[in-house]
């Protein structure tokens, strides 16, 4: 993590006050949350519409913060404390991260995409860790605040950082990539998340492609080559970087030639190696994420022959195709972190083709932020369910009722249950599960379907 004196910090960001009395104070790490303050941290408060973090500056210093930023338009700065007066605390945080990044010898991998970016980040970090000291984005620290914090948490001897880049509107990825300056970039796919803000899949593709704007010369971008919107824009490459594609089809630079799945993960082969790769993660869509990670790892000199070492220790961030056991012996696939039509379809496909279970149950909630076509997306999702492979469909939420309506065109009505509340859903679900059952739980983050997972355990 960043370790500098206050005087050194003053050379990295512009300060508006006199600091000579505490200029030799050592700052070690940065925090924006007084509940997580560590001794020596620099506390960074933000002034929002409803909350003002400046109220917690004194508390942060009492808890061990060595100093705090203070935005100069906030009245009554506590100048008896070690505060650093700045024009804007968010911009100061970002500038501090930018300058710290330039001081490090670290090489950066940037990961974006509508779905699968966290999983791909985890896989990429694991593969690179075979040979390098690697750090990665923790949790969802992937935005204009989270990414600077991630950079400031990098150790001086970290060799590669794998940074997730999220967005909700145009210009956000552009800012993040120019701050991080990646040597390698991954675009996992283009889905339907943020249609409400960006209006079309074309708009989403353009926003994700902003990641190229910060790519270093002679870097590499790898993207899902079966997506025409990406292929169209990247096929006529005029940049000083290498392009590589991954996907299902043989037109890609790397693609699977065989995938075998069970409830412990997937075994697959690719066109570029005779090795059987063993991925301890559910779903053929995650094989595609693995291909992206393998491409980047290969760029950094990791041989394919060693990659199973990286896959073997893979542990994904919670609530991403996480296989759990319920109290009646049933298996649960907890994929409740988020959902879009693309990722929900992939999850349903996973359950559909998973062998070894007599009873397969879908528990699906609302997919949010889909714009004016939200009803159609949910309806089509229900219509895509295979009645021969799926035993029951449970839905939760107003929009998910349309999944139930669509499912009625495929399954008998007595195998479909739509709920507006979680407790009745849980009670009905508990009546149907046993040791030969597997339940898939998926919805957008706002639906908090992990409550259902917890109730089954």
**Model confidence pLDDT, tens digit, residues 71-103:** 999 999 998 999 999 999 999 999 999 999 999
Mean local confidence (pLDDT), 13-29: 95
40 sits in the region (left: phi over 0; alpha: psi -120 to 50; else beta) called: left
Tell me where in the chain the CATH 3.40.1390.10 domain(s) lie: 3-89
> Residue 203: what pLDDT?
84
> Residue 198: what pLDDT?
64
Domain 322-456: give its CATH code: 3.90.190.20
Domain 104-312's class?
A: alpha beta
Which residues partner with 393 through β-bridges?
362, 416
User: Which residue would you say has higher pLDDT here, 239 or 118?
Assistant: 118
> Residue 129: what pLDDT?
97
Which residues partner with 136 through β-bridges?
162
Residue 132's Cβ-count burial label (10 Å; 0-12, 13-18, 19+) is: middle
Q: Are 409 and 429 in contact (CB under 8 A)?
A: no
**Model confidence pLDDT, tens digit, residues 97-151:** 999 999 999 999 999 998 889 999 999 999 999 999 999 998 788 999 999 999 9
DSSP secondary structure, 321-378, as one string? SEEEE-TTS-EEEE-TT---HHHHHHHHHHHHH--S-SEEEEEEEPPPS-GGGHHHHH
Lowest average pLDDT, out of 151-165, 219-233, 428-442, goes to: 219-233
Count H helices and E strands in the chain, helices first. 16, 21
> Residue 199: what pLDDT?
67
Tell me where in the chain the CATH 3.90.190.20 domain(s) lie: 322-456
Mean local confidence (pLDDT), 293-321: 92
Tell me where in the chain the CATH 3.40.1190.10 domain(s) lie: 104-312
Domain 3-89's class?
A: alpha beta
Residues across the chain: 457
- Read off the pTM: 0.87
> Residue 205: what pLDDT?
87
Mean local confidence (pLDDT), 378-406: 97
> Residue 239: what pLDDT?
74
> Residue 195: what pLDDT?
63
- Give dist(CA 131, CA 159) in Å, integer: 10
> Residue 235: what pLDDT?
74
> Residue 197: what pLDDT?
66
pLDDT at 194 over 70: no
pLDDT at 380 over 90: yes
pLDDT at 200 over 90: no
**Model confidence pLDDT, tens digit, residues 336-363:** 988 999 999 999 999 999 998 999 999 9
């Amino acid at each position: 993590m960043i370790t500098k004196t206050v005087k050194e910090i003053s050379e990295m960001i512009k300060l508006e006050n006199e600091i000579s009395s505490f200029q030799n104070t050592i700052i070690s790490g940065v925090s924006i949350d007084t509940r997580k303050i560590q001794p020596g941290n620099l506390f960074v408060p933000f002034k929002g519409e409803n909350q003002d973090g400046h109220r917690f500056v004194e508390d942060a210093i009492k808890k061990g913060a060595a100093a705090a930023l203070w935005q100069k338009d906030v009245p009554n700065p506590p100048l008896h404390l070690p505060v650093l007066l700045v024009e804007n605390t968010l911009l100061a945080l970002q500038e501090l991260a930018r300058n710290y990044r330039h001081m490090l010898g670290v090489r950066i991998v940037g990961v974006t995409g509508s779905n699968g970016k966290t999983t791909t980040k985890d896989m990429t970090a694991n593969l690179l860790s075979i040979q390098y000291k690697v750090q990665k984005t923790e949790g969802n620290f992937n935005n204009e605040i989270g990414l600077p914090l991630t950079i400031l948490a990098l150790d001086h001897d970290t060799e590669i950082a794998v940074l997730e880049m999220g967005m909700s509107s145009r210009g956000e990825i552009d800012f993040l990539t120019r701050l991080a300056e990646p040597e390698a970039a991954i675009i996992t796919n283009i889905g339907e998340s943020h249609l409400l803000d960006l209006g079309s899949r074309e708009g989403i593709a353009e926003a994700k492609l902003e990641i190229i704007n910060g790519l270093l010369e002679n870097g590499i971008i790898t993207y899902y080559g079966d997506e025409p919107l990406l292929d169209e824009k990247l096929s006529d490459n005029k940049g000083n970087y290498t392009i590589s594609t991954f996907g299902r089809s043989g037109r890609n630079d790397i693609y699977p030639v065989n995938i075998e799945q069970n409830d412990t993960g997937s075994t697959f082969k690719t066109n570029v190696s005779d090795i059987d790769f063993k991925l301890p993660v559910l779903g053929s869509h995650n094989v595609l994420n693995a291909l992206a990670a393998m491409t980047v790892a290969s760029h950094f000199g990791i041989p394919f022959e060693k990659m199973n070492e990286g896959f073997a220790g893979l542990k994904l961030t919670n609530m991403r195709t996480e296989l759990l056991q319920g109290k009646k012996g049933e298996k649960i696939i907890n994929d409740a972190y988020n959902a879009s039509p693309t990722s929900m379809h992939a999850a349903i496909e996973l359950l559909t083709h998973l062998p070894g279970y007599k009873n397969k149950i879908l528990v699906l909630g609302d997919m949010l932020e889909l714009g004016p076509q939200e009803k159609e997306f949910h309806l089509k999702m229900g219509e895509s369910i295979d009645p021969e492979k799926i035993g029951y469909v449970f839905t939760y939420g107003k929009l998910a009722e349309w999944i139930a309506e669509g499912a009625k065109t495929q399954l008998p009505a007595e195998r479909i249950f739509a709920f507006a509340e979680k407790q009745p859903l849980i009670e009905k679900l508990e009546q149907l599960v046993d040791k030969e059952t597997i339940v898939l739980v998926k919805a957008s983050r706002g639906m908090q379907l992990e409550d259902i997972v917890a109730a089954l355990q």
